Amino acid sequence: MATNKILFFSAKPYDKAFFTKHNDAYGFALDFLETHLGPHIVQAVEDGTFAICVFVNDKLTDEVIEVLSVKGVKVIALRCAGFNNVQLETAKRHGIRVCRVPAYSPEAVAEHAVAMLLTLNRKTHKAYNRVREQNFTLTGLLGFNLHGKAVGVIGTGNIGKAFCRIMLGFGCQVMAYDPVEADDLKTLGVHYLSLNEVLNQADILSLHCPLTADNQYLINQDTLSLMKKGVTIINTSRGGLLHTTDTIKALKAGKIGYLGIDVYEQEQQLFFKDLSGTIIEDDTIQRLMSFPNVLVTGHQAFFTQEALSQIAEITLNNVYQLSNGQEPDPAVMLT
Ligand code: NAD
């Protein structure tokens, strides 16, 4: 039996470093597996393991959760905010508590969205390579001012709010769509509009809503047709918000001027892995990466020292409270 054991899936060296450091104060037995969680590995979970700790691409299907339940796992601790990869109802039915880290340095993700926007616009990635070749010409590097541009933000929770504040600082007109409007943002000058109005008026669109059954493929052929020609779209939220084939068509037609994605619907096969020596079978991501006006990053928006420290601390504290019969803050609990 391993009653104080937390088994990590999809563990990278940085997970190990940050969790091990923060665990000094908690004393759990930590075990790290590099593989992602799925039906292929779930039988390897030791009976009596108290908690498993998972990340965005671990698959907690009905089948996986049922095996975890048989093995006596009490807690599924997500070390991320999004939870679209967990069958919550099944966990609930088996009495497994699911917790997450709803807000860890939202600025980390918001700042990465801005970094993508600035890279695409001012082409610093191209300039970097060009000057290293002693080519100091400017042709092809023309950008546009962010000042005065209409920025549409879909989802104004923790990350969306941080993004709005930054864009207001740039002197943009910020408009937003969220079923729950935030008064503090309105005070700062953000205008809430309907989804269609935001899509219709934005020069730059940034997605900061969770992926749900209702908003899958929020960006599709129909919604793209509402947008301005040359719109910039940034998605640091979840890949499934974007219909990738429709997006590629819109890029080819010049409807999308720039696209920055830190997330991709089929990212599980690719992201967080070094595939530099392999043949990638996914033609869609290859097509996306072939556009000069598309920037892909591999789900790194959260990846700052501050965020990793907060993720480790909040996750361990969630599990600690549950292991001591305490009820954590409702904001971190999903079941
Ligand atoms: P949050 O829960 O604080 O805010 C989400 C907001 O979206 C809420 O205000 C909610 O009302 C709104 N919303 C829900 N459905 C919507 C819809 N259909 N249209 C518009 N708004 C809607 O979450 P957060 O911390 O701001 O995170 C947002 C998302 O960012 C997460 O769900 C996750 O998918 C993603 N994320 C990505 C990374 C990364 O590294 N790329 C890291 C953390 C989070």
For residues 127 and 241, state if they share a domain: yes
Q: 192 and 219 share a domain?
A: yes
Q: Clarify whether residues 197 and 229 are in a common domain.
A: yes
CA 125 to chain centre: 22
Residue 152 in contact with ligand 1 by CB distance below 6 A:
no
Q: What is the pLDDT of residues 228-277, one digit of tens each?
A: 999 999 999 999 999 999 999 999 999 999 999 999 999 989 999 999 99
Tell me the C-alpha distance between 251 and 258, whole Å: 8
Active-site residue identified among 107, 265, 267, 313: 267
Report CA-CA distances (Å) from 275 to 272, 291, 317: 9, 20, 35
Residues 65 and 205 in one domain: no
User: Is 36 a catalytic site residue?
Assistant: no
Give the pLDDT of residue 1.
Answer: 44
Give the pair of three-digit tokens for residue 10: 């999809």
Annotation says 267 is catalytic:
yes
238 has catalytic annotation: yes
85 and 115 in a single domain? The answer is no
Give the pLDDT score at 103: 87
For residue range 75-116, list pLDDT tens digits in order: 999 999 889 999 999 999 999 999 999 988 999 999 999 999
Q: Which among 238, 243, 265, 313 is annotated as catalytic?
A: 238
Q: Which domain holds residue 129?
A: 106-296
With a pLDDT cut of 70, the percent of the chain lying above it is: 99
Whole-number pLDDT of residue 168 = 98
State the pLDDT at residue 81: 87
Angle at the Cα of 19 from the Cα atoms of 306 and 312, rounded to 5 degrees: 45
- Mean pLDDT over 132-144 rounds to 98
Q: Which atom of ligand 1 is nearest to the CA of 157?
A: 4
pTM of the model: 0.91
Atom 9 in ligand 1: which residue has the minimum CA distance? 157
pLDDT value of residue 222: 98
Q: Specify the CATH number for the domain of residue 274.
A: 3.40.50.720
Residues 70, 112, single domain; the answer is no
Whether residues 144 and 277 fall in one domain: yes
How high is the mean pLDDT of the chain?
96
Tokens standing for residue 144? 């546009």
Angle, alpha carbons 279-38-158 (nearest 5°): 90
pLDDT at position 3: 66
Cα 160 to middle of ligand 1, angstroms: 7
